[in-house]
Each structure stands twice: as C-alpha cells, then as structure tokens.
Structure 1
Amino acid sequence: MHPFMALKPLFLTCACLVLLGCKNTPTEIKVEQLLKADKSWDGAAYSYPDAKPEFTVVKITLPANTTLKWHSHPMPNLAYLVSGELMVETEDGIHKTTLKPGQVLPEVVNTSHRGISGKAPVELIVFYAGAPGMALSH
C-alpha cells in the first residue's frame, strides 16, 4: 500500500475541519463533498511522491487586481477559494479557469501557471500533499 493511502482518511478529516470550522453546539452535522479528483484541472493524472508523507495547509491572501508570478508545484495540492474571484491559467496558454467562492481547484503539478485576482481581494486555503523537504512551489 502506498504510504499516502494510509493517511487519506486523516487528511480528509483535517480538511473538513479546516473548511467547515467547528461549532460549540451544532444542531445538525452536514458533510458536503466539495471535490473528488484523481486529475488536476488541466486533466493531468496525479501521483504522489515516493517518500514519507507531509501535509501542509496554507492560507493565501491576494490584493485585488494582483497577478502572481509563473510558478509550479512538485506535488498534488488543492485550493479552496474562501472569497474573491481567481482566474488561473497555464503558461502555455492552453488552459484557463476561473474559481469562485466555495469552489475547490485540483491544482496542476509540474506545470507552470499563475493566478490573477479580480476586482476584490482573494482569500484561499491550499492543501499540499508533499514530503519532508519538498518546496511547495518553484
């Protein structure tokens, strides 16, 4: 069994807690699947690094009308858009998509891309499934 598969339930539980938050006295428990993907948004299949798993979750805030530098990620990751609107495009110009609040983007791996915020600031939470010592982006 691949080492990441054993941690899949833990990762999903942590992701749900971060995304849904915790309430002191919930009146009902609601679980809503936001994404299930084995491919990134450009259609490329995912594979995990052959190493001990290490998950990283970051919150990124972009000012309005901001263009990120071209970059790539060496591991699978997911971005959940909390607020604003984010257009994402690959450097080759072939793929482009726009993310709206509440949507999840299965990020591209080893493909140069960038994000561009709209007229409002953007807040997103990104979940990285990497390994110790791996940079989150290049």
Structure 2
Amino acid sequence: MDSKVLRYSEGQEMKLKLATVLLTLVLACFANAEDSSSKIQIEPLLQRTSSWDGTPYKAYPVGQPKITVLKITIPPRTTMKWHSHPFPNAGYVLSGDLTVEKRDGTTKHFVAGEVIAETVNSVHRGVTGDAGTVLIVYYSGNSELPLSISDEK
C-alpha cells in the first residue's frame, strides 16, 4: 500500500490554525451564552383575577389598546385625592409603603416589593408613610380613556 502524507504550504497551515482558533472561540461563545441563559430567574410578582379588595375584574375596554407604564414618586405623609380607574392596572411598590383606602373604610397596606392589583370603577385613594413611596404602575387601557378619574367632593 502506498501511504500519502498531506503537506500544507506555510500559508495553508496558517489558515487552518486560524480557522481552528476561530471555531474554538465561536463554540466557547455559544457555550457561555447557554450557561448564562440557564441562570435566568423568573419570579411571578402578581397573577390575579380580582383587585386588592377582592372585586373580580371584568372585560378590558374595547378600542385601540394603549399600554402605559409610569414611575410615580409620592412625598412622605401624602394623602392622594379620591379617584377611580376605568380599567385594570397594577402598581409595584419600589420603595416606601402605601395604604390604599376606599370610602367605606376598607384599607390595605402595601410595602416595598409588593404589588397592588388596583380596583376598577371603585373610588379609592392612597396614603404614604414617613418615607414617601415610589411606584411603578402598569395601565392596560385604551387610547380613549384616562388613566384615572378624579372623584373629589
């Protein structure tokens, strides 16, 4: 049998080495990407079919959907005005605390890290504590409706 030895020119050998290095780097990147994606953590913060006071949510408003996300900073010892919301929304307490109250005297206290499932078409207001409050509020309404409706008397 006649054995043949493959011989590469200096240029071909350099190209082969470069291709091997590049392939190794690409594979390392994919392996690293796979490792970091396996470290993703998902923590549900809220899944509800009713507001904080137990009132079931009805249908979302009709029309062109409009998503709004607000960061709301409320000073310490503030009593907000009475208001209502025409569609479901939820607020995440980023810092501080907030007591939500209805006109009938029903209240619920929320602290940093908790989520408020807001009431719909129900008059309420919020009262902050000594540190004030920062909220991230998600509204899922439509382009025709306001985010809230004042009910000051």
- Which has a greater percent of helix? 2
Say whether 1:92 aligns with 2:96: no
How many Å separate the matches in 2 of 1:26 and 1:96? 41
Q: Deviations over 1:35-91 (max 9, x none)?
A: 100100111111211222111101100111000000000010001000001000011
How many Å separate the matches in 2 of 1:102 and 1:135? 27
Residue correspondences, number? 113
How many Å separate the matches in 1 of 2:65 and 2:121? 18
The 5-angstrom pairing of residues 50-65 of structure 1 reads 50-65=62-77
| SS of corresponding position for 2:130 | coil
How many Å separate the matches in 2 of 1:73 and 1:112? 8
Q: Which residue does the alignment assign to 1:37?
A: 48
Q: Which residue does the alignment assign to 1:105?
A: 116
How many Å separate the matches in 2 of 1:42 and 1:121? 23
How many Å separate the matches in 2 of 1:115 and 1:38? 22
User: Any stretches of 5+ residues in structure 2 without a counterpart?
Assistant: 1-35
Q: CA RMSD in A?
A: 1.4
| SS of corresponding position for 1:121 | strand
How many Å separate the matches in 1 of 2:121 and 2:62? 16
Residue 28 (structure 1) shift: 2.4
Q: Could you tell me which of 63, 66, 79 is aligned with 2:91?
A: 79
Say whether 1:126 aligns with 2:137: yes
- Which has a greater percent of strand? 2
Residue 26 (structure 1) shift: 8.1
| SS of corresponding position for 2:92 | strand
**Greater Cα radius of gyration, structure 1 or 2:** 2
How many Å separate the matches in 1 of 2:38 and 2:54? 39
TM-score by length of 1: 0.78
